[in-house]
Amino acid sequence: PRWVYLFGADRTDGDAGMKTLLGGKGANLAEMANLGLPVPPGFTISTDVCTAYYEAGRKLPESLTPQVDEALETIGRIVGAKFGDTDNPLLVSVRSGARASMPGMMDTILNLGLNDETVEGLVRRSGDRRFAYDSYRRFIQMYADIVLGVDHGVFEDILETFKNLNSMQLDTELTADDWLEIIESYKAAIADAIDRPFPQDTGEQLWGAISAVFGSWQNARAKTYRFLHGIPDDWGTAVNVQAMVFGNMGETSATGVAFTRNPSTGVKEIFGEFLVNAQGEDVVAGIRTPQHLTEAARIEAGSNQPSLEALTPGMFAELVAVFDKLETRYRDMQDIEFTIQDGKLWMLQTRSGKRTLEAALRIAVEMAEEGLISREEAVMRVNAADLDQLLHPTIDPDSEKNVLTNGLPASPGAAVGEIVFHAEDAEAAKAKGIDVILVRVETSPEDIHGMHAAAGILTARGGMTSHAAVVARGMGRPCVSGASALQIDARARTLKIGSTLLKEGDVITIDGSTGQVLHGRVKMRQPEMSGNFGTLMSWADEFRRLGVRANADTPRDAEQSRIFGADGIGLCRTEHMFFEADRILAMREMICAEDEEGRRAALDRILPMQRGDFEQLFETMAGLPITIRLLDPPLHEFLPHEGSELTSVAEALDISVEKLRARVRELSEFNPMLGFRGCRIAIRYPEITEMQARAVFEAAIAAGKKTGAPVKPEIMIPLVIYRREFDILADVIRGIAREVEAEHGVSLDYEIGTMVELPRCALKADEIAAGEEGAAFFSFGTNDLTQTCLGLSRDDGGPILQTYTSAGILEMDPFVSIDVSGVGELVQIGTERGRRVKPDLKIGICGEHAGDEASIRFFHEAGLDYVSCSPYRLPVARLAAAQAAL
Ligand code: ADP
Ligand code: MG
Ligand code: MG
């Protein structure tokens, strides 16, 4: 079989399309040679050899030897040298190169082929002793470290000691004889460490290096890296053997790295550095301060070392032409390595460069505008999940940081504020214009108003899907959860972290993107909606089929969702409207009322508040569709539980504490998530639905008049499993609609649909949607659907998920990324059965999954009409939806 592929020789066997066989580095070296660029000749030993090597129990195939020998001869002929020749030695580099760039693999060995005799040949040929010995000592050091396993610290110590003894600072101060002395010390140290001398046989050196590259594919570091990045074990690596060129041949030689555009800003400018008289990775190793490639960059950095542009304009122009050629060929920003040997340019590597999000956006948009790529490609080039970074304030990376402890990065963004321990205090502070961080052991629905008022939330307990985390993400509040080192004494209003004692009012900073809790006020960067971001999002909107709506409960959320480009509101949870201080009392009154009459009296007080909320919401959304969900949580969530609060609430309600306590006891459930909630409450107390429907309709009429844009509310009934439930409540809503129509002399346009959040609902979707009177739309509530399909509590499931992840049962948190094969099948069944009876049934999804890339791909494929996510996930969802469609 063929194992070896030439490049830059009389012929080049590979090209950029052959990454699987040749690895990324090898394929791109071949491509550069094909483009006619100056590439030192070499050959790639293919990834097939890696596979064969492991199949044979770490043995290289015998037929590889003649192929390598022949290729070496060819290269030698071209550069006019011979491998192992004492008079005119060919030197090579041995470079690993997997399909995907993979740190953790064997490093590159340079100057291979040098020994005590060939180095003298190099001395004679180059006429430069210092250069020859410098090259040799570099080789010994790299080879010993990488192939022989001698710790590189040994060599650093020898060199340091030598420099200290001779009062030297820089490597460049060492003379040829100095290096010769160092070489002897290196060799002695190696013989000492491995009990045999440094290999003088150049063939042994080469095969040792090749085997070491293949062997490094299975070293612990490489395996871990593959595991973390999902790179399959059976890909294997290739090995590149390439004639050396020397950047360390004196003042007319240099080595450098460059990006064809600025990788941190994306600006179309050459961004790079070089070092005169240096080799390989000296530039990145920080041995000396490198010089800038362009004059502009030199001036900006205020450096007094000349740029390449000023130093050798001809060479610079040649380099620029090469960069242009590479960008045009690869149609992407390139990360390039080059070397100048005695005034001649050599290209050593090119690949698509890593970049910041800001740069990714700018490069994608500008390349599309330049006509280099299509808009579709531009949309595909940006990682949707990364957009999250743009939508929240972040900690200024240059600021000083004093990390107190770490928790989970539960909701991205950073926040600074004074510590408060109670939701009420957060609200009070907010009213005074003070930013606060709400610090709780954990949060509950009663804390929502405080969470809303806080700049950030910090909890000692709870995972990534805890109440605090989910609500915070929904609100776009930064949150660090599960910071177990926090010792909170809410009564004393103190917080202890290790030996640090903090009081209410002390300032802390939290970083919800990393989970860090920091002392004091750390500098922030505000999110920017830059022009390129907006442009790319508008292109994404052209390509996506899936609608993207927002989960928005308040006019503020609605405004935010319009800024982030929502097509409408897919979920307005009405209960959140009741947690504000002045409203919860009316709600509690309703819950504690003796009879229907009492309930109605309380509901009458709630009606105008609710109507007002809806009116604002409708106005903000100006005619865009809005789905409003009827009251969902169990009633006890609205009642106080702690003793002190019971007293004050009883007083406010003008009932006895005993009576209130009795009501709390009566409503408390062992398993509230499967309890008296959703439409079950409304079936029991239809007057609640009457009030909510009236509020919706009256608000729709008022807002429609004000804005001139007719409002078509979509009323959604939660937790339905039987058609009969749906019918009972739909009748109530229609009855109210008729009343309102009569009162106002108008005709209302509205739809009644259901949330699909229990398996039975998905299974009976056809029954529930059938006929004129059946559900007009579905919205999959995938949080509850996951919880009930898996029988796994979202609130208590953390430890189980952890166990299952480490046992290899689960790969992903099913509350974050949808369980495609299980819960996903319920979504498919519900969609298919619903549309069987009602082909135009509108179907959306409104769980946490609506903001997750992988889940969005699934929802697109399942044929849903829209996803509805938190306002702060909208740009991510818009881009992911476009990428799913392309
Ligand atoms: P990495 O993947 O870590 O970048 P490389 O194989 O690219 O490793 O090599 C490391 C350094 O050695 C780079 O600076 C590269 O340009 C340089 N290098 C590799 N091969 C040669 C060669 N044949 N001649 C001169 N320099 C080389
Ligand atoms: Mg490297
Ligand atoms: Mg490289």
48 C-alpha vs ligand 2 centroid, how far in Å? 23
- Looking at the fold, whether 301 and 424 belong to one and the same domain comes out as no
Q: Are residues 661 and 801 in the same domain?
A: no
Minimum-distance ligand to the CA of 335? 3
More confident residue, 464 or 639: 639
Q: Which ligand has an atom closest to residue 38 CA?
A: 1
- Mean pLDDT computed over 555-570: 91
Does residue 729 have a pLDDT over 90? yes
Residue-level pLDDT at 752:
98
Joined tokens for residue 227: 């595991």
- Residue 679: active-site member: no
- Domains held by the chain: number: 5
Average pLDDT for residues 145-154, to the nearest whole number?
Answer: 92
Is residue 808 predicted with pLDDT exceeding 90?
A: no
Helical ranges in 40-128 per DSSP H: 47-55, 64-79, 118-126
Q: Does residue 594 form part of some domain?
A: yes
Q: pLDDT digits over 648-662, tens only? A: 888 888 899 899 999
Q: Is the pLDDT of residue 103 over 90?
A: no
Write down the catalytic residue from 292, 392, 452, 467: 467
What average pLDDT does this structure show over 500-522? 94
Are the C-beta atoms of 470 and 782 separated by less than 8 Å?
Answer: no
Residue 371 falls within a domain, yes or no? no
The response to whether residue 93 sits with its C-beta less than 6 Å from ligand 1 reads yes
Q: What is the CATH number of the domain that holds 139?
A: 3.30.1490.20
Binding site membership of 245 for ligand 1 (Cβ less than 6 Å) = yes
Ligand with an atom nearest the CA of residue 281: 1
Sign of CA pseudo-dihedral 199, 203, 205, 209: negative
The interface predicted TM-score of the complex, written ipTM, equals 0.97
Q: What is the pTM of this model?
A: 0.83
In this structure, which ligand is nearest to the CA of 110?
Answer: 1
Sign of CA pseudo-dihedral 394, 397, 400, 401? positive
Q: What atom in ligand 1 is closest to the CA of residue 92? A: 23
Count of residues for the chain? 886
Could you say which DSSP state residue 447 is in? G
Torsion of CA 140, 145, 148, 151, to 10 degrees: 120
Same domain, 295 and 212: no
280 touches ligand 1 (CB under 6 Å): yes
297 Cα to the center of ligand 3, angstroms: 23
Asked if residue 361 belongs to a domain, the reply is no
Q: Whose CA is nearest to atom 6 of ligand 1?
A: 95
CA of 93 to the centre of ligand 2 (A): 13
Residue in this structure with the two tokens 């177990």, named with its chain if needed: 484
304 and 238, same structural domain? Answer: no
Do residues 4 and 43 touch, judged by C-beta distance below 8 A?
A: yes
- Domain boundary residue among 184, 208, 243? 243
CATH code: domain of residue 443 = 3.50.30.10
**Ligand 1 neighbour 8 (Cβ under 6 A):** no
3-state secondary structure of 676: coil
User: What are 242-266's pLDDT values in tens digits?
Assistant: 999 999 888 999 999 999 999 888 9
Q: Is the CB of 254 under 6 A from ligand 1?
A: no
Is there a single domain that holds both residue 630 and residue 642?
A: no
242 lines ligand 1 (CB under 6 A): yes
Asked if 569 and 701 sit in the same domain, the reply is: yes
Whether 687 and 600 have beta carbons less than 8 Å apart is answered as: yes
Most informative mutation of 146, 348, 350 for ligand 1 (most atoms within 8 A of CB): 348
- CA-proximal residue: ligand 1, atom 11 (nearest): 280
CA distances, 649 to each of 558, 641, 642 (Å): 32, 10, 11
Together in a domain, 401 and 513 = yes
- Residues contacting 131, CB < 8 A, separation 6+: 122, 246, 248, 249, 250
Instruction: Judge whether 384 lies within some domain.
Output: no
Nearest ligand 1 atom, CA 40: 23
Residue 87 lies in a domain: yes
Dihedral (CA of 719, 723, 725, 729) sign: positive
As a whole number of angstroms, the distance between CA 205 and CA 224 comes to 28
Residue 757, domain member (yes or no):
yes
Tell me which residue has its CA closest to atom 17 in ligand 1.
Answer: 280
For residues 167 and 427, give the distance between their C-alpha atoms in angstroms, rounded to a whole number: 65
pLDDT of residue 529 exceeding 80, the answer is no
Q: Select from 53, 130, 108 the least CA-distant residue to 285.
A: 108
Please report whether residue 362 resides in a domain: no
Confidence of residue 289 (pLDDT cuts 50, 70, 90): confident
- Predicted local confidence at residue 459, as pLDDT: 93
**Which ligand has its closest atom nearest to the C-alpha of 101?**
1
* CA 244 to centroid of ligand 3, rounded, Å: 14
More confident residue, 575 or 630: 630
Q: From the alpha carbon of 243, which atom of ligand 1 is closest?
A: 23
Segments forming the whole domain that contains residue 648: 636-668
Cα of 238 from ligand 3 centre, angstroms:
14
- Domain end position, chosen among 243, 267, 284: 243
Q: What is the mean pLDDT of residues 587-604?
A: 93
Q: What is the CATH number of the domain that holds 265?
A: 3.30.470.20
Task: Please name which of 327, 308, 196, 320 lies closest in space to residue 252, comparing C-alpha atoms.
Answer: 308
SS3 of residue 421 by DSSP: coil
Q: Quick one: pLDDT at residue 860?
A: 98
The response to whether residue 28 sits with its C-beta less than 6 Å from ligand 1 reads no
Q: Decide if 210 contacts 163 (C-beta within 8 A).
A: no
DSSP 553-594: -SHHHHHHHHHTT-SSEEEEEGGGGG-SHHHHHHHHHHHH-S
**In a mutational test of the pocket of ligand 1, which residue from 45, 96, 281, 336 has the highest number of ligand atoms less than 8 Å from its CB?**
281
Instruction: Report the 3 state secondary structure along 153-191.
Output: HHHHHHHHHHHHHCCCCCHHHCCHHHHHHHHHHHHHHHH
Instruction: For residues 842 and 868, give the distance between their C-alpha atoms in angstroms, rounded to a whole number.
Output: 13
- Set 50, 479, 679, 846: catalytic member: 846
Residues ≥6 apart with Cβ < 8 Å to 450 = 420, 422, 423, 424, 425, 426, 427, 438
Shortest-distance atom of ligand 1 to CA 107: 3
Query: Distance between CA 822 and CA 786 in Å, rounded?
Result: 9
Residue 546, SS3 per DSSP: coil
Question: Does one domain contain both 403 and 551?
Answer: no
pLDDT band at 24 (very low <50, low <70, confident <90, very high): very high
Q: What is the mean predicted confidence (pLDDT) over 350-361?
A: 90
- When pLDDT is averaged across residues 181-193 and rounded to a whole number, the result is 96
Closest C-alpha among 763, 797, 796 to residue 778: 763
Mind listing the pLDDT tens digit for each residue in 821-880? 999 999 999 999 999 999 999 999 998 899 999 999 999 999 999 999 998 899 999 999
Per residue in 674-701, pLDDT (tens digit) is 999 999 999 999 999 999 999 999 999 9
Using CA atoms, how far apart are residues 255 and 75, in angstroms rounded to an integer? 22
Q: What was the pLDDT predicted at 530? A: 66
For the Cβ of 135 lying below 6 angstroms from any atom of ligand 1, the answer is no
Task: Write out pLDDT tens, residues 193-252.
Answer: 999 999 999 999 999 999 999 999 998 888 888 877 788 888 999 999 999 999 988 899
36 CA distance to ligand 1 centroid (A)?
20
For the Cβ of 19 lying below 6 angstroms from any atom of ligand 1, the answer is no
308 and 398 housed in the same domain: no
Say if residues 131 and 253 touch (Cβ distance below 8 Å). no
Q: Is 182 in the same domain as 207? A: yes
Nearest by Cα to 361 from 528, 533, 540, 565: 533
Report the C-alpha gap between 793 and 361 in whole angstroms.
39
CA of 525 to the centre of ligand 1 (A): 37
348 in contact with ligand 1, CB cutoff 6 A: yes
Percent of the chain with pLDDT over 70: 98
Averaged pLDDT score across all residues of the chain: 92
Which residues make beta-bridge pairs with 507? 418
| Percent of the chain's residues with pLDDT above 90 | 74
Question: Does residue 271 register a pLDDT over 80?
Answer: yes
10 has a pLDDT exceeding 90:
no
Q: DSSP 3-state helix, strand, coil percentages of the chain (rounded to 5)?
A: 50, 15, 35
The answer as to whether 469 is a domain residue is yes
Shared domain for 53 and 132, answered yes or no, is yes
CB of 282 closer than 6 A to ligand 1?
no
843 three-state secondary structure: strand
Helix (H, G, I), strand (E, B) or coil at 341: strand
Assess whether 479 carries a catalytic annotation: no
The answer to whether residues 200 and 279 belong to one domain is: no
- Per residue in 313-346, pLDDT (tens digit) is 999 999 999 999 999 999 999 999 999 999 999 9
> Which of 649, 668, 687 is the last residue before a domain boundary?
668
